[in-house]
Amino acid sequence: MALFTVIMTPTMWLPLLLIPLLLILKNMKKSQNKQEQQLPPGPLKLPMFGNLLQLGELPHQSLWKLSKKYGPVMHLKLGRIPYVVVSSAEAAREVLKVHDLDCCGKAQLTGVGKLSYNYLDVAFAPYGDHWRQMRKLCVMELFSHKRVQSFHFIREEEVASLVNSISQASSSASPVDLSQKMFALSGSILFRVAFGKRFQGSHFDNHKFHELIASAMAVGGGFTAEECFPYVGWIIDWFTGYHARIQSIWEELDSFFEQIIKDHLIKAESKQDHEDIIDVMLRIQREQANSADGGHQITKDNIKAVLMDLFLAGVDTSAVTVTWAMTEMARNPEVMSKAQDEVRKCIGNKGSITESDMDQLQYLKLVIKETLRLHPPGPLLLPRQTISHCKVLGYDINPKTLLQVNVWAIGRDSKYWNKPEEFFPERFVDNSVDFKGQNFEFLPFGGGRRICPGIQMGTLTVELALANLLYHFNWKLPNGMKEGDLNMEESTGQSLTNCKKTPLLLVPINYSHQPSEIA
């Protein structure tokens, strides 16, 4: 009887009826707001999957093809995640400059969070005071012009070692795997810049470290199934062993970083002639501890997170750029001949090339620019997440939307580039366009607040390596291959970079520099 009285009392059940009514009204308002908004166009989204199945093995190429149908600002869904891709210089300018503050956030992803020590790095840290302080550390200390120049002897010694190894191999007239050589070179340089020494021959050598970094990029660089498919995705992650793999990779890298930092703390007790990256961060940590201002303090995990950024972003980018440049020159022998003539005329019979010679090599710089246009190492800029609502080319972009710039597509757009598929370095003659983030038709290193802070470090490595390869050797294709036989296919493989799908194999021929040849 008491229960019946409760059910029949309007003051008890009327509020219960209002709850679903309010939910219906809320959903109607949401639907109305969506109709009032002008979201970017995009392909049909499949239930649950969204547009994931349309990305393919080379997302930058798939998205480029879709943009030809749906336009330069395109809306997709990665499972449940809203995703906008921009594929024109005008749209990129709005994202990276006009609305940079609205679009400079970072998605909180499981793999990235683990590898970055819960976002204590620079590349993946959310926008805020911590990011500003870490960015300042990178710009003012770790990658300042003075600091980068202080590592010149490392780059010169490692490139000289590369030349020596190729010279020895040339005696057999056998092809050399330049792809592998470039990855080894980049790894050796970064090892010495970051840690102060190589680790060849140890149980944790350069090769082992590079394998771990490649695995970290492959496993930790994207979304988990749970992030794309709520409620059921965790089953896929459990079945594939995702969390166990990322934990295992992180533990190996963390253990290595821990030991290296301990070694540096012991070394810090004696005065050092030259600081590596860890030395610099430990010195700043000590200075902050002795300061009374109570500001931002660098922790050991900050140091490890920055090291992770350095290797995730630094090894592959320089290596693939040199590899693609040599590939394009092998395919266009007139370009290689012109670049060789410049290097050999400027350097003469000096016998070695140093970074002080680089300013003379203007055509070489054009070759590098053209390589970065056609083969940007990161074809899609690292994804951003919108912090607040903004409009891009008139389209509404809502908060917490994942946003990427397809720089590969922009670099091949005939609107900005004449005959964009051709490798033609001369297009940059008397052309002020550069890759420092202000020319939005050419963004190999990004732009805005999130532009890569290590541009100078990377470009110096590329310039020095290419100059030496062209100065010391002539190059020919193996086994009677013709220029048109070169495989130009791309592959993102186990990394986020735009690698050549097949190794670049070229036959080196030692070039003899005679005094009589000097102009």
Q: Which pLDDT value is given to residue 272?
A: 66
pLDDT at 352: 86
User: Is there a contact between 349 and 518 (Cβ–Cβ < 8 Å)?
Assistant: yes
- What is the band of 77 on the pLDDT scale with cuts at 50, 70, 90? very high
Torsion 275-278-279-285 (CA) sign: positive
Region of 72 on the Ramachandran plot (φ > 0 left; ψ -120 to 50 alpha; else beta): alpha
- Burial of 260 from C-beta contacts in 10 A (0-12 / 13-18 / 19+): buried
pLDDT for residue 116: 94
| Whole-number pLDDT of residue 215 | 86
Helix (H, G, I), strand (E, B) or coil at 430: coil
Distance, in Å, from the CA atom of 279 to the CA atom of 7, rounded to the nearest integer, reads: 74
**Average of per-residue pLDDT across 89-94:** 97
* pLDDT given at position 217: 83
Of residues 216, 373, 369, the one with CA closest to residue 307: 216
Side chain identity at residue 229, one-letter code: F
Q: What is the pLDDT of residue 83?
A: 96
Q: What CA–CA distance (Å, rounded) separates 151 from 308? A: 19
Q: Average pLDDT of the chain?
A: 88
pLDDT of residue 513: 73
Predicted confidence (pLDDT) per residue in 95-113, tens digit: 999 999 999 999 888 999 9
Average pLDDT over residues 252-274: 85
Instruction: Point out which residues pair with 74 in neighbouring strands.
Output: 85
Average pLDDT of the segment spanning 252-264? 93
Annotate 115-130 with b (16+ C-beta within 10 A) or e (fewer).
Answer: bbbebbbbbbbebeeb
Report the distance separating Cα 69 and Cα 491, nearest Å: 24
Domains contained in the chain, CATH given: 40-517 (1.10.630.10)
For the ranges 59-68, 317-326, 344-353, 486-495, the lowest mean pLDDT is seen at 486-495
Per-residue pLDDT averaged across 45-55, rounded? 93
Report d(CA 40, CA 394) in Å as an integer.
9
| Band of residue 515 on the pLDDT scale cut at 50, 70, 90 | low
36 pLDDT above the threshold of 90? no
Over residues 429-482, the pLDDT tens digits come to 999 899 988 999 999 999 999 999 999 999 999 999 999 999 999 999 999 899
Q: Which residue has the higher pLDDT, 33 or 271?
A: 271
Alpha helices, H only, 37-151 = 59-70, 89-93, 110-115, 129-137, 145-150
Mean per-residue pLDDT, 212-239: 84
> How far apart are alpha carbons 269 and 368 in whole angstroms?
43
Q: Determine which helix (DSSP H) or strand (DSSP E) holds 414, and give its type and residue range.
A: none
Write out the binding residues for heme: 452
Residue 4: pLDDT band (50, 70, 90) is: very low
* pLDDT tens, residue by residue, 369-428: 999 999 999 999 999 999 999 999 999 999 999 999 999 999 999 999 999 999 999 999
What values do phi and psi take at 273, rounded to 5?
-75, -30
How long is the chain? Answer: 519
Token pair of 194 as six digits: 């970051």
Do β-strands 499-500 and 490-491 pair in parallel, antiparallel, or remain unpaired? antiparallel
User: 165: pLDDT confidence band, cut at 50, 70 and 90?
Assistant: very high
Annotated binding site: 452
Bridge partners of 81, per DSSP, are: 78
pLDDT of 20 reads 45
In 332-454, where does DSSP find H-type helix?
Answer: 333-347, 362-374, 407-410
The dihedral through the CA atoms of 489, 495, 496, 497 has a sign that is negative
Q: At 189, which helix (H) or strand (E)?
A: helix 178-195
- Give the integer Cα–Cα distance in Å for 388 and 34: 16
> At 279, is the pLDDT very low, low, confident or very high (cuts 50, 70, 90)?
very high
The pTM is what? 0.89
Q: Which whole number is the average pLDDT over 48-53?
A: 92
Q: What percent of the chain has pLDDT over 70?
A: 89
How many CB atoms sit inside 10 A of residue 357's CB?
A: 17
Segment among 261-270, 287-296, 312-321, 341-350 with least mean pLDDT: 287-296
